[in-house]
Structure 1
Amino acid sequence: MAGPRDEHHYPCESCGADLRFSPGETRLVCDHCGHVQDIPRATGRGVAHLHELDLETALRAELPEPEMEERQTLSCPNCGAQFDLEGEHHASECPFCATPVVVDTGSRRLIKPQGVIPFVLPEAQARAALGNWLGRLWFAPSGLTQYARKGRRMRGVYAPFWTFDASTRSAYAGHRGDYYYETRTVNVQVDGRTERRTQQVRKVRWHRVAGRVARAFDDVLIYAARSLPTRYTDALKPWDLSALRPYRPDYLSGFEAEGYTVELREGHYLARAEMAHVIASDVRRDIGGDEQRVDRIDTDFS
């Protein structure tokens, strides 16, 4: 039986060296002898309709055995990132903070990924894009500039995400504010003289309101690790989920993959918070008027 690390290790049929996934293609290539091996592609409904897991079953830790996997991961002692190594290496440096890391003897039981967006840019193109971006900056980070000038290898890392679906129905109560204007007469000083003038004063007339809104959420993405600041992961949105492929470990060959450190329950909590923000906007739109006050929103998720 193969060990937990063998899943992402593909020896070349020709020379025995490690194969790696070729970005932008659906094949594995050998850098040593040039041998090429195609990755089987899903067809028909397999690509358009990825398998999704039942949330409640997963939260109860009752997923079927085929949906789980044992993974031996590296845990960075500095930033806390957890990731897999390529091939059979036993030491590396953290791809996020460059701290030296050695393989731990332990393993984690994780929910198996259901989909993956494969890398598209080869390293040479990624390096060129980095150089062009740095060249446009007035004040580029010195550490990053030195890294680029030294020509060090760029390392591709797959980042983990949870994705959540939900159908929601929300009942709300609040107030609608409509503007109206009153004419007032006031005294003003003009060239040392007091004059009486009229002016329009805006006021708000509030009405109590109540109602219901409904929204279906599809693929609410939550970054399932803590290695990257939220402002960076948010800036990468929206992801092109049409590029998702059913998960195959072949796509990870030659790359590193970060393990999830945000557990499913916490991810679900964060997803509901994002949904609640959208629902609140729906409620304000439904209330209408010039201003809105939302006193209460009760949402049923299904």
Structure 2
Amino acid sequence: MQGPWGERAAAGSGGAPEAAPTTGDRRFPCSQCGAFLTFKPGTQVMVCGFCGHENRIEEVEKPGSLRELDFHAWLGRLADQRDIEETRTVKCDACAAEFSFEGDRFSGACPFCGSATVTDTGVNRHIKPSGLLPFGIDRRGAEAAFDRWLRGRWFAPSDLKQRSERRERLSGIYLPYWTYDSATRSTYRGQRGDRYTTMEWVAVRDAKGNVRQVQQPVTRIRWRPAAGQVARDFDDVLVPASESLPVAMVDRLEPWDLQDLRFYRQEYLAGFQAEAYGIDLSAGFDQARVKMDGVIRQDVARAIGGDVQRIDHVETRHADVTFKHVLLPVWIAAYRYRGRPYRFLVNARTGQVQGERPWSWVKITVAAALAALILVIVFALLQDGGIIDQILRGF
């Protein structure tokens, strides 16, 4: 059965991905001049900003062929050193976001709220990503999107543009996500409702206020019990593992082209930051189950059939649960206005934009007052004896 996430792919062996260096060092020196290379969005190369030399990132396997990892097996083996990546991270004192800078730099502005970030939290141990989507849109394209978005905020404070121009530059950051696969079988109980029409005597009131009985068609619903089972295989149910951004804002960045996921290689992170996941593997699956439950209830409603349905109980069993930990690219601008942080996000694959902004209640009040004044004028012109009425009588 085709679902909103497609058919479930065959589960892999559940083996651990290849081990990564434990230093978390993402610096790659240029073979020509020794300066550090950075990944060039929209390409398959790292480029030297000093001499322009390019190093191609070679893929050993085609995109989209990442292995699925066994969920329950991993819950019992998270201490296995082969399956864990160690990176050095910093934590923002203002918004509690935990992320990495490039190389040995561990201070600067937080990309999530624009506050100063000062302290090195040391080595952080977490599940190594299985794959990622590389940046496809460069900084210039993201900045152009931000400026277009900002110019369209009609009810923003007048000084917002000047204040936001003093923000830190747009930051490229990889956000952590979990994807889950699961074969589900659900048992349900409910009621099926079928509409039917019958002629009945009903009381009606005429224009003079008199009440009389007339026969009219009335629609009723005939209910009968329903029970059964539905099954669905879910593939790549996507759950953000970040706690630093509003969930609704992050969700609106979808869809992501997960079919083009690349195997995780640190070369893709050169020149960018990466956030450590704040929602762990188990908690992520709890959120995935909520998404699955919504789809399963739709399946149950279709299975019950009829014109309307009542769902009294659904019990779902999950089997062959697998997962991937992936990184997805976002350009983020954080600025502070009157002490409050505001953020702007760009999906660095599709260009989809989402943003927060302050509101100018002065502009809103003036606009509301003008709208009310226009309504009063129009009403005065249209009412009996008004100017328009007098003009029409003149003809």
Normalised to the residue count of structure 1, the TM-score between the two structures is 0.92
Which sections of structure 1, spanning at least 5 residues, go unmatched?
Answer: none
Q: Deviations over 1:70-114 (max 9, x none)?
A: 111111121111111012212112100112112425222110000
The aligned residue for residue 322 of structure 2 is none
The aligned residue for residue 23 of structure 2 is 4
Q: Deviations over 1:20-69 (max 9, x none)?
A: 100000111111221211111233xx423102221112111347533211
Q: For residue 200 of structure 1, report the CA deviation from its aligned partner.
A: 2.1
The aligned residue for residue 159 of structure 1 is 175
The one-letter amino acid paired with 2:291 is E
Q: Work out the CA distance in 2 between the residues paired with 1:167 and 1:271.
A: 13
Contact 1:57 1:63 in 2 (8 A): no
Contact 2:90 2:106 in 1 (8 A): no
The aligned residue for residue 127 of structure 1 is 143
**Aligned equivalent of 2:97, options 72, 81, 105:** 81
The aligned residue for residue 93 of structure 1 is 109
SS at match of 1:217: strand
Contact 1:86 1:254 in 2 (8 A): yes
- Further displaced range: 50-59 or 129-138: 129-138
Q: Work out the CA distance in 1 between the residues paired with 2:70 and 2:159.
A: 44
Q: Work out the CA distance in 2 between the residues paired with 1:264 and 1:183.
A: 59
When residues 19 and 76 of structure 1 are mapped into structure 2, their CA distance, relative to the original with a 3 A threshold, is: same
Q: Work out the CA distance in 2 between the residues paired with 1:141 and 1:277.
A: 40
The one-letter amino acid paired with 2:144 is A
Larger C-alpha radius of gyration, 1 or 2?
Answer: 2
**Aligned equivalent of 1:31, options 44, 49, 61:** 49
Contact 2:203 2:214 in 1 (8 A): yes
**Aligned equivalent of 1:270, options 287, 290, 307:** 287
1:242 to 2:259 alignment:
yes
Which sections of structure 2, spanning at least 5 residues, go unmatched?
Answer: 1-20, 320-395
- Further displaced range: 8-17 or 90-99: 8-17
The one-letter amino acid paired with 1:26 is Q
The one-letter amino acid paired with 1:130 is F
Contact 2:194 2:308 in 1 (8 A): yes
Identical positions, percent: 43
Q: For residue 17 of structure 1, report the CA deviation from its aligned partner.
A: 2.0
SS at match of 1:77: coil
SS at match of 2:309: strand
Q: For residue 147 of structure 1, report the CA deviation from its aligned partner.
A: 5.9
The one-letter amino acid paired with 1:277 is G
When residues 41 and 216 of structure 1 are mapped into structure 2, their CA distance, relative to the original with a 3 A threshold, is: same
When residues 101 and 191 of structure 1 are mapped into structure 2, their CA distance, relative to the original with a 3 A threshold, is: closer
Contact 1:180 1:204 in 2 (8 A): yes
Q: Work out the CA distance in 2 between the residues paired with 1:151 and 1:65.
A: 40
When residues 228 and 32 of structure 1 are mapped into structure 2, their CA distance, relative to the original with a 3 A threshold, is: same
Taking the TM superposition and a 5 Å limit, the aligned residue runs for 1:174-185 are 174-185=190-201
Contact 1:225 1:262 in 2 (8 A): yes
Q: Deviations over 1:105-144 (max 9, x none)?
A: 5222110000101111111111112222223332347786
Q: Work out the CA distance in 2 between the residues paired with 1:270 and 1:186.
A: 50
When residues 278 and 196 of structure 1 are mapped into structure 2, their CA distance, relative to the original with a 3 A threshold, is: same
SS at match of 1:159: strand
The one-letter amino acid paired with 2:284 is G
Q: Work out the CA distance in 2 between the residues paired with 1:116 and 1:257.
A: 11
1:301 to 2:300 alignment:
no
Taking the TM superposition and a 5 Å limit, the aligned residue runs for 1:77-226 are 77-140=93-156, 145-146=161-162, 149-150=165-166, 152-192=168-208, 193-226=210-243
The one-letter amino acid paired with 2:41 is P
- Further displaced range: 228-237 or 216-225: 228-237
Q: For residue 150 of structure 1, report the CA deviation from its aligned partner.
A: 4.8
Q: For residue 269 of structure 1, report the CA deviation from its aligned partner.
A: 0.8
Aligned residue-pair number: 298
Contact 2:107 2:120 in 1 (8 A): no
- Further displaced range: 191-200 or 261-270: 191-200
